[in-house]
Amino acid sequence: MEHNELVQLCEQKAKAWLAGNYNEQTKTQVRQMLENEDKTLLIDSFYQDLEFGTGGLRGIMGAGSNRMNIYTVGAATQGLANYLKAQFADIEQISVVVGYDCRNNSQYFAGIVANIFAANGIKVYLFENLRPTPEISFAIRHFKCQSGVMITASHNPKEYNGYKAYWNDGAQFIAPHDTNVIDEVNKITNIDDIRFGGEEKSEKHNHAEIEIIGEDIDKIFLENVKKLSLSPDAIKRNSDLKIVYSPIHGCGRVLIPRVLNELGFTNVITVPEQMVQSGDFPTVASPNPEEPAALELAIKKAQSVDADIAMASDPDADRLGITVKNTEGEWILINGNQTFMIFIYYLLTKWKENGKLSGNEYIVKTIVTTEIIKDIAEKFGVEMFDCYTGFKWIAAIMRENEGKKAYIGGGEESYGLLAETFCRDKDAVSACALMAEITAWAKDNGKTWHQMLQDVYIEFGYSKEKGISVVRKGQSGAAEIKQMMTDYRQKPPTEIAGSGVLKIKDFQTLKQKNILENTETDLEMPTTSNVLQFFTEDGTKISVRPSGTEPKIKFYIEVRDKLKNREDFEATEKRAEQKIQAVTGSLGI
């Protein structure tokens, strides 16, 4: 579409908002966009409608069809309500759970969502205050609800908010429900079709169908989390372990220090500046535990108290970032692959020690996560499933195997872990609890966390990973990202950093090409996905995919090596870093 045509289309949509039954604040913002000679904001706000991606509905807050506001949230909720009423027509009372995080407008949006559901005759369990995303997933299962909504933009910058929708198993939507809900939303061509349930700005919840929940569910959820403990004696012997924790202004502040204390850890030290609930995230540029800057205050606190481990959860407390001391006593960040690797190694080791492995257990990882997880699973005789990026796919495998196989744990390189079945989304609450326990277990065995990591590398081989995101904003950026994927498909690399490409997996066509054998085989996946993977002779794995929730294309690089002993760790790490630099040079990123 030509630029002028796009501007005309966006102006047409914007003028429809001016003519519609939108509030004056919204219309003022739309008028300003139309009157501005620079049409960039107008285009970005109206060139498309927000849709569910790998993480649900997510966008910058503001006026427009491509923005998070009461009308896009309202349309999504009305569409979901319509779908629920059609799908569960034989149920006397459909019910949902609604929760929200610390972000600006989150409580307001949650109130709008609750009122719309209630106006549609759907019972709502609305959390009294901010709560972690995994607790919303748990509550859906606990109350046997048909759906649920969490208002959050996870780790995105403060300008964003989002809408995570869940099905009756507590997992985020996958096909056909995700596209079916969008179909229902698209049928709402007039905002008057949205049953707001009273004044759209009202934060009061006077409907009989809305029940406020909180502490009672907190207790039940935490009791379940505490049952995941596999080394209670190690906790007793190391109860004074120095644990630094930060919620980065978000939901983790409600439950994570509490569960650590209830497990028996007596020396939990919080970061006071980041215990302050705030959607402005005043102490960080971005509240993402994947980014080193987000953990700076936690590291300073850990240094000042000589802690054993420092942990931080993202605003909705589903992702976990950790930092530990290396052998020189310097605080280093542990990436998501390393965290998941130790997490799975510990779970499998303790399941085996406790006599819980029967040969019918399984774990799950995403396709972009380190291949060391597969090596660990093979050694313990545990089946491993690979799935697409996004925890909804891990939950889908859990759903398929429910009652057939025993789930041990799952995770992804993007700092998401899950050790339980009573929740079906990544959980920083249980992950923090287990990571503290793992640290105590390592200390019980005469090791620091970092020494434990080195020993796992010695046993299973060394791996170093790096994620690179190339950001391309707006409509033009989306087109550029699409062209990049097309180019990689039409002209795939034959060698990367001097190592020949042996295998190419294309999850859009569900085909795998074996270069040396000149053969093509099918990939067994539940659906297609716009992901490419390249595997080279020296064990390097490159994954490329556009983000489903952000304006970026992501590259996941993994290089392999051997580690003979702890003393060689630094040299091995340097070789791997040099190899990663060579890979990025080959890819031109």
Does domain 462-587 bear CATH number 1.10.1410? no
Domain ranges in the chain with CATH number 3.30.310: 462-587
pLDDT confidence tier of residue 205, bands split at 50, 70 and 90: very low
Mean pLDDT score across all residues of the chain? 94
Per-residue confidence (pLDDT) for residue 200, from 0 to 100: 44
Q: From its phi and psi, is residue 145 left (phi > 0), alpha (psi between -120 and 50) or beta?
A: beta
Using the predicted structure, report yes or no on whether residue 207 has a pLDDT greater than 60: no
Per-residue confidence (pLDDT) for residue 182, from 0 to 100: 79
> How far apart are the C-alpha atoms of 407 and 430, rounded to whole Å?
15
The per-residue pLDDT for range 457-503, each reduced to its tens digit, is 999 999 999 989 988 887 788 888 999 999 999 999 999 999 999 99
The per-residue pLDDT for range 41-63, each reduced to its tens digit, is 999 999 988 776 545 688 999 99
> How far apart are the C-alpha atoms of 369 and 493, rounded to whole Å?
21
pTM: 0.93
The amino acid at residue 155 is: H
Tokens of 131: 């709560």
Per-residue confidence (pLDDT) for residue 357, from 0 to 100: 97
Using the predicted structure, report yes or no on whether residue 202 has a pLDDT greater than 50: no
Residue 410's H or E segment, with its range, is: strand 406-412
Q: How far apart are the first and last CA of the chain?
A: 28
Using the predicted structure, report yes or no on whether residue 244 has a pLDDT greater than 80: yes
104 alpha-carbon distance from chain centroid? 20
pLDDT confidence tier of residue 198, bands split at 50, 70 and 90: low
Give the residue-averaged pLDDT of 119-135. Answer: 97
State the fold for domain 52-213: Alpha-D-Glucose-1,6-Bisphosphate; Chain A, domain 3 (3.40.120)
Give the residue-averaged pLDDT of 285-291. Answer: 94
Does domain 234-460 bear CATH number 3.40.640.10? no
Using the predicted structure, report yes or no on whether residue 146 has a pLDDT greater than 80: yes
Per-residue confidence (pLDDT) for residue 197, from 0 to 100: 79
Per-residue confidence (pLDDT) for residue 163, from 0 to 100: 95
Domain ranges in the chain with CATH number 3.40.120.10: 52-213, 234-460
Q: Which of 154, 463, 499, 529 is catalytic?
A: 154
Give the residue-averaged pLDDT of 375-398. Answer: 96
| Known catalytic membership, residue 154 | yes
pLDDT confidence tier of residue 372, bands split at 50, 70 and 90: very high
Q: Which of 560, 589, 585 is nearest to 573 (CA)?
A: 560
Using the predicted structure, report yes or no on whether residue 199 has a pLDDT greater than 50: no
